[in-house]
């Protein structure tokens, strides 16, 4: 949680907009208001499983259908830089601007080269 004296560090209001359907998939757009700034951010959440599709980077404006389509198509995987396998991003290790798969190629010795 942020310090309320630092603008833009604390969510002061969340507005969940009506669900919409893009390419047959139902999503929610949540508008976030922040302390001390006029800017807002918008998160997209998949209705089916509650996954926040914009957890890494929210939109600055209400997203268009095309922007929502893009985040729906973005897989939750990244390519392992060593073996090229698609690995779940939640278990991949960032390494020198790319990722290394935890199950396929990660070795604790790599940690010293991050």
The predicted-structure confidence for 5-42, as pLDDT tens digits, reads as follows: 688 888 899 999 999 999 888 999 999 999 988 889 99
pTM equals 0.60
- Residue 3, pLDDT score: 53
Q: How far is CA 7 from CA 3, 43, 51, 97, in A?
A: 8, 19, 27, 30
- Classified as helix, coil or strand, 14 is strand
- Residue 103, pLDDT score: 86
* Residue 58 exposed, middle or buried by CB count within 10 Å (0-12, 13-18, 19+): middle
């Amino acid at each position: 949680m942020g310090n309320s004296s630092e603008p833009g560090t604390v969510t002061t209001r969340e507005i969940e907009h009506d669900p919409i359907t893009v390419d047959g998939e139902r999503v929610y757009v949540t508008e976030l208001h922040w302390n001390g700034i006029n800017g807002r951010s918008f998160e997209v959440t998949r209705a089916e499983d509650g996954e926040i599709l914009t957890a890494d980077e929210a939109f600055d404006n209400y997203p268009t259908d095309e922007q929502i389509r893009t985040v729906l198509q973005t897989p939750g995987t990244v390519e392992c830089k060593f073996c090229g396998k698609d690995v779940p991003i939640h278990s991949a290790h960032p390494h020198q601007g790319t990722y290394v798969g935890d199950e396929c190629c990660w070795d604790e010795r790599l940690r010293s080269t991050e």
